[in-house]
Amino acid sequence: MVSHSDLDDFENNVSEDPSYKSELIHLLSNMGGGGAESCIRKAWVACITDDIASNFNWAGRAPKKGVKFLTVAECVYAAVRVNYPDCKRSVYEAVTKDWLKQAPARLKLKKRNCERLE
């Protein structure tokens, strides 16, 4: 996703089309990872950019939007549960919260690395 409108379109497709939703879950579940936490992070990286993630938090406290209300969030959790059926929702939420919280730092690091290359 490059913009918020792209995310909105993606969210609409996932929430309105059951086959699109199941395909997304299938794709995300095949990403792998060294454990449930790694799988959660990889799935989020595949779904949204750090630029967009920096405008979200879990619950949607102002001025950010809440990711827990998105169908995409349900898909990420479902995909993780395919490979890690014992993954608790609390673990999923904690890893997602941390991943979202770290988005601005990842953006800053990417910017710094790009400046070094120039």
* Length reported for the chain: 118
- The predicted-structure confidence for 73-117, as pLDDT tens digits, reads as follows 999 999 999 999 999 999 999 999 999 999 999 999 988 888 877
Which residue range(s) make up the domain with 92?
Answer: 4-117
- The predicted-structure confidence for 25-49, as pLDDT tens digits, reads as follows 999 999 988 999 999 999 999 999 9
Query: What's this model's pTM, rounded to 2 decimal places?
Result: 0.91
Can you tell me the distance from the alpha carbon of 72 to that of 25, in angstroms, rounded to the nearest whole number?
9
Query: How many domains in the chain?
Result: 1
